Amino acid sequence: MITVAKKYKSVKPDEVKVWFKAASVNDFPKDGGACVKYKDLQIAVFNFARLNTWFATQNLSPEKEEMVLSRGMIGDHKGTPMVACPLHKKLFSLVDGTNLNGDLDPIATYPIKIEEENVYIGFAD
Amino acid sequence: MKKIIVVGNGMVGYKFCEKFVQQSTDSAFKLTVFGEEPRPAYDRVHLSEYFENQDAKALEMAPAEWYVENGIDLVTNERVVDIHRDSKTITTSKDRTFTYDYLILATGSSPFVPPIKGVEKKGVFVYRTIEDLEGMLAYAADLKKTNPDAKAAVLGGGLLGLEAGKAVLDMGLEPHIVEFAPKLMPRQLDSRSSKVLQLKLESIGLNIHLSKATNQILGDDAIVGMEFGEDDVLNVDMLIVSAGIRPRDELAKTCDLEVGVRGGIVVNNKMQTTDENIYAIGEVALLNQMIYGLVAPGYDMADIAVKQILGDVSAEMPEEIDMSTKLKLIGVDVASFGEPFMPASKGHSIIYEDKTKFLYKRINVSLDRKTLLGGILVGDAADYNMLHQMYMNSMAIPEEPAQLILPTSDGAAAFGDVMDLPDDAQVCSCESVTKGQICGAIESGEAKDLADVVSCTKAGTGCGGCKPMVKDITEATLKSLGIEVKDSICEHFDYNRQDLYKIIQVKGYQTFNEVLDNHGNGGHGCELCKPVVASLMASIHADTANKEYAIQDSNDRFLANIQRNGTYSVVPRVPGGEITPDKLIALGEIAKKYDLYTKVTGGVRIDLFGATLNQLPLIWKDLIAHGFESGHAYGKSLRTVKTCVGSTWCRYGMDESVSFGIELENRYRGIRAPHKIKGGVSGCIRECAEARGKDFGLIAVEGGWNLYVGGNGGATPRHAELFAEQIDNETVIKYLDRYLMLYMRTAKPLQRTAAWQERLEGGIEYLKEVIIEDKLGIAKDLEEEMQTLVNKFECEWTQAVNDPEMMKRFNHFVNSKEEDDNIVFVPMRDQKMPEPWK
Ligand code: SRM
Ligand SMILES: Cc1cc2nc3c(=O)[nH]c(=O)nc-3n(C[C@H](O)[C@H](O)[C@H](O)COP(=O)(O)OP(=O)(O)OC[C@H]3O[C@@H](n4cnc5c(N)ncnc54)[C@H](O)[C@@H]3O)c2cc1C
Ligand code: SF4
Ligand code: FES
């Protein structure tokens, strides 16, 4: 059985083949997230305004496999930028996707760049 | 199997069972308990609390099921009337006979009623059982109907008499205390301290009559007065006799067990009577020629009897039994410990007195000034626990012993630290818990905070007098283990919620970043501090959750409760549960249109489930068009005010509970608080709205509403406590405004009113002082703050659907109008539900 989770694999900056233009920076709340559709993937994009940085991860929470992470609160856990899943408050590092308060599988992370007020997400295919 | 019969299911009889279950390792024994009262054993020490809440269950030592679970046969409502020692049997009031191998007499005592002429008249009560209290309450209520200025006297100015005096005061009758001796609490206090206590009691409205011998009770059928001398009469409409206790040793007399001259079944220090198979424990036992009228020695006796029967024949009662006491009377501190009256040949006394503050402190020290022998505290007994420990453990005292009682500028420095107590210092005498056991529970990791300590050691669950010390020891131990005992909200702030409330209010901050940058520890906030700040902004500025939605908890951010599969539920407000047929139909039609699952909630309104993010604003547009508004089911804010139909329809209704419930729900709707708030309004004492299970509850009674506060369902259910009686609608609102605002200002994050109230220093009495008597002078501010919030109310869903910018929030994708393709519903009964989690 192919689970939804299998569709999400972290992409390293040097693996990027496609820079997908997702939306305008104004479509994302400051210090919050929103969800982007790319092919059959759901990508959570976070505008970490306090660090003047953007992050992209899978939208799927690995705990219960629901598409909710973009709706979580962001902040830091002992200094690591993180998102808290809105369902049961599991924390995931926005930097490398690890689960910071448990032993769930890590979430996939994606490179992101801003050009001319637009948000681009990097994919390997 | 050997049979043990326990006669009497009072506090000590129960403790025997509890200790037996704990200590026996096999099932070689069968326990049967007979109690003459109609219910299982209850906490007599806290009997007076029954006046507040009339909740007999709350006083139970253990529920009836506990006995069943532990294989104990509990027979209530049946008195043992005879003991036949030769056949080792007993007979009961129902003429049943049972055999025993061991018999435990735990029959307690009964109030001593002096043989005064007329004492059998109506309106004369004793103060020992729940039934006594019920009788008094009913009688007082009747009295007040015909005579609002009715008076009641207590015969006896001892420990119990004064407690009864307080009860009279609480019942709303004019209280009088009549004492035979020339001073109050003659057994515990010297003349000077007794005088100070008297002044204090008079200042709170008790009338004290000393050196009075009552000749007769006046009245035809019911009491109308007490006659002391020929022209010396006190007119009263009710009397509570509290003139001492008499051990209930009548059973000993049926079978020739030795009893004392003034009563009590004689026992040796193994708690055996003159028949070695029969034990007597508690207030019926005469040990060392003494009846010990306190629970702690009774519990020790139970323990010794258990050990003896289980074969530990060396177990004996200690030679010295501590009779230190602290009065529970709220508003007046009185304590005495060790030897309160000191003959000059045995030691020195040091006395500090300040009549202007109703303060008296006396300590007695040994001739060599090295140890503390006893003392008396009136007016301020905060140091009782520590002084008591110093006495019990013969601890070294300061070179200048007066330091122990003189007011110091820097607190109680003279005492040293609780951690200086020896490990075997008995901190909780009721449950025999030592300091070492408390520290041990923490060190072993079994207990992580005060609540854990209390539940695993039972310390503080008896009279409760030791709680402050248990708390100090717990905190000191945690600290010594490097565990910080601070209540700051998370790693990003060193402040607790109350501190942040003040900071935001004073500085007028409008955004999370301002608060974090100016008062945080660096970093960027988290899932703990963001919602707290969001809630504070709402409480202080009446902001809705739309203002800074990225710091809101997910539910507040999308103004709906997220469900298992990432869809949402929609709960429109139905104030008081009243709904027109048209609105009901509208709900049905909207649910059909969007294919939503519907259900009536536990909060008596209608919930529509399974809405996708994209659907939320569409559904709300429809709902708003039909006159609905947000029900805030997603917020830490007012949920519902549940009502019963009340006098509008119900034949028993005393007032319009629905109208008032609607008014209250509309008043407090939308207000954000540390946790959710629920209300209930019942039209009469049958309580169909379950008002006492809510954060605030109202019950219509003759002459107004009774207001209850701090109730809770959930994981730790609690009944709300009675706060004010027979008040009108306007006063209810005034008190509630103040209560809720105070809660919003001072509670911890996610702390419901019940937990807040329970942990509040001074408890409900303190709340009454602040809210009713306005002792902090903040009542007006609280009311004004609440009124501002009420005036600024806005339905946040109406706000959201009318603002295109806000509407953008409700798209699942920023770059597509499509919906979440991961959602799968399956059919269930006639509706649908999310696919089960794997
Ligand atoms: C829908 C409902 C169950 C139902 O189908 O009937 C419900 C559903 C939830 N309750 Fe409840 N509670 C519902 C009535 C109650 C009641 C009954 C009542 O209000 O009279 C109680 C006990 C009374 C009380 O609160 O004191 C209740 C005590 C809780 C608690 C325990 C609170 C506590 O202080 O211990 C939680 C957990 C919490 O809030 O931390 C909770 C939490 C929840 C949550 C929010 C759990 C969650 O995080 O998802 C559920 C949200 C579902 C949703 O989307 O609406 N729910 N919940 C009821 C909605 C009532 C309404 O109209 O708003
Ligand atoms: C209002 C009040 C406040 C108090 N405050 C304090 C305090 O602050 N601190 C403190 O230490 N102590 C206090 N006490 C005293 C404390 O309650 C008693 O010391 C304790 O209850 C004694 O327990 P017991 O089991 O010996 O007697 P009880 O609790 O009286 O129990 C005896 C039971 O045996 C039953 N019984 C008697 N005869 C028979 C029979 N033949 N067959 C079947 N059943 C029988 C009785 O009905 C009763 O239920 C207070 C007492 C009262 C009334
Ligand atoms: S009781 Fe538990 S499962 Fe049921 S609605 Fe409340 S929170 Fe959900
Ligand atoms: S000493 Fe009474 S409860 Fe601890």
CA distance A46 to chain B (A): 11
pLDDT at B229: 85
CA-to-CA dists, residue B682 to B641, B659, B679, B733, angstroms: 10, 11, 10, 16
Is B469 in contact with B388 (CB distance < 8 Å)? no
User: Is residue B486 very low, low, confident or very high in pLDDT (cuts 50, 70, 90)?
Assistant: low
Percent of residues, chain B, with pLDDT higher than 90: 64
Give B734-747 as a DSSP string: HHHHHHHHHHHHHP
CB < 8 Å to B565, chain A: 66
What ligand has the least distance to the C-alpha of B246?
A: 2
Query: Phi and psi of B41, rounded to 5°?
Result: -50, 140
The DSSP code for A62 is T
Least confident range from B258-262, B369-373, B417-421, B529-533: namely: B417-421
Q: Is the CB of B135 under 6 A from ligand 4?
A: no
State the average pLDDT over residues B788-800: 93
**Averaged pLDDT of chain B:** 91
Q: What is the Cα–Cα distance from B80 to B297, expressed in whole angstroms?
A: 24
pLDDT at B521 over 90: no
Ligand 4 centroid, distance to B441 Cα (angstroms): 17
The DSSP code for B116 is -
pLDDT one-digit tens code per residue, B720-735: 999 999 999 999 999 9
Ligand 1 centroid, distance to B632 Cα (angstroms): 12
Q: Do A65 and B565 touch (CB under 8 A)?
A: no
Of B565, B814, B837, the CB nearest to A34: B814
Q: Do B554 and A51 touch (CB under 8 A)?
A: no
pLDDT at B99: 97
pLDDT at B386 over 90: no
Residue with tokens 């054993």: B41
Residue with tokens 């509008």: B648
pLDDT at B411: 44
H-assigned helices in B75-190: 130-146, 159-170
Binding residues of B: 644, 650, 684, 688
Q: Is the CB of B33 under 6 A from ligand 2?
A: no
pLDDT at B125: 97
Q: Do B821 and A40 touch (CB under 8 A)?
A: yes
pLDDT at B248: 97
User: Is residue B410 very low, low, confident or very high in pLDDT (cuts 50, 70, 90)?
Assistant: very low
User: Is residue B143 very low, low, confident or very high in pLDDT (cuts 50, 70, 90)?
Assistant: very high
User: Is residue B413 very low, low, confident or very high in pLDDT (cuts 50, 70, 90)?
Assistant: very low
Q: Is the CB of B752 under 6 A from ligand 1?
A: yes
pLDDT at B440: 92
Q: Is the CB of B219 under 6 A from ligand 4?
A: no
pLDDT at B368 over 70: yes
Q: Is the CB of B603 under 6 A from ligand 4?
A: no
Question: Which residue, B556, B585, B559, is CA-closest to B570?
Answer: B559
Q: What is the Cα–Cα distance from B148 to B292, expressed in whole angstroms?
A: 40
User: Is residue B412 very low, low, confident or very high in pLDDT (cuts 50, 70, 90)?
Assistant: very low
Q: Do B564 and A48 touch (CB under 8 A)?
A: no
What does the block give as tokens for B196? 């100070």
Which of B493, B526, B613, B823 is the best residue to mutate to test the A interface, defined by the most A CB atoms within 10 Å of its own CB? B526
CA-to-CA dists, residue B525 to A46, B79, B383, B460, B618, angstroms: 15, 65, 42, 38, 33
pLDDT at A2 over 60: no
Q: Is the CB of B35 under 6 A from ligand 2?
A: yes
Residues near B10 by Cβ (< 8 Å), separated by ≥ 6?
B35, B37, B41, B44, B106, B107, B108, B282
pLDDT at B485 over 70: no
State the average pLDDT over residues B801-823: 88
Residue with tokens 């330091």: B403
Strands (E), B552-693: 561-562, 568-570, 597-600, 606-611, 638-643, 677-682
pLDDT at B389: 86
pLDDT one-digit tens code per residue, B63-98: 999 999 999 999 999 999 999 999 999 999 999 999
B513 close contact with A: CB closer than 8 A: yes
Of B104-113, B223-232, B313-322, B489-498, the range with the highest mean pLDDT is B104-113
Query: Phi and psi of B657, rounded to 5°?
Result: -65, -35
Ligand 2 centroid, distance to B293 Cα (angstroms): 9
State the average pLDDT over residues B308-332: 85
Q: Which long-range contacts (CB under 8 A, 24 or more apart) does B754-757 make?
A: B754/B695, B754/B710, B754/B711, B754/B712, B754/B716, B754/B718, B754/B720, B755/B712, B755/B716, B756/B674, B756/B710, B757/B709, B757/B710, B757/B721
Q: Which residue has the higher pLDDT, B140 or B462?
A: B140
Percent of residues, chain B, with pLDDT higher than 70: 98
Q: What is the Cα–Cα distance from B559 to B552, expressed in whole angstroms?
A: 10
State the average pLDDT over residues B49-61: 85
pLDDT at B257 over 70: yes
Is B512 in contact with B476 (CB distance < 8 Å)? no
Which of A58, A63, A66 is the best residue to mutate to test the B interface, defined by the most B CB atoms within 10 Å of its own CB? A66
| Complex ipTM value | 0.71
Give A8-40 as a DSSP string: -----GGG--EEEEEEEGGGS-TTEEEEEEETT
Would you tell me the crossing angle of helices B497-507 and B529-541 to the nearest 10 degrees? Answer: 50
User: Is residue B760 very low, low, confident or very high in pLDDT (cuts 50, 70, 90)?
Assistant: confident
Helices (H) and strands (E) in chain A, counts: 0, 12
CA distance B827 to chain A (A): 19
Residue nearest to atom 61 of ligand 1 (CA): B603
Q: Do A73 and B527 touch (CB under 8 A)?
A: yes
CB < 8 Å to A51, chain B: 524
Residue nearest to atom 33 of ligand 1 (CA): B714
Q: Which residue has the higher pLDDT, A50 or B410?
A: A50
CA distance B523 to chain A (A): 6
pLDDT at B657 over 90: yes
Residue nearest to atom 53 of ligand 2 (CA): B128
Q: Do A50 and B808 touch (CB under 8 A)?
A: no
pLDDT at B27 over 70: yes
The helix or strand, by DSSP H or E, that contains position B147, with its residue range, turns out to be none
User: Is residue B55 very low, low, confident or very high in pLDDT (cuts 50, 70, 90)?
Assistant: confident
pLDDT at B709 over 50: yes
Amino acid at B777: G
Structural domains of chain A, ranges and CATH numbers in brackets: 29-123 (2.102.10.10)
CA distance B597 to chain A (A): 19
The most distant pair of C-alpha atoms in chain B lies apart, rounded to whole Å, by: 98
The pTM of this model reads 0.56
User: Is residue B513 very low, low, confident or very high in pLDDT (cuts 50, 70, 90)?
Assistant: very high
pLDDT at B329: 67
Q: Do B524 and A31 touch (CB under 8 A)?
A: yes
B826 close contact with A: CB closer than 8 A: no
The helix or strand, by DSSP H or E, that contains position B199, with its residue range, turns out to be helix B191-203
Q: Do A75 and B523 touch (CB under 8 A)?
A: yes
Is B698 in contact with B714 (CB distance < 8 Å)? no
State the average pLDDT over residues B621-628: 96
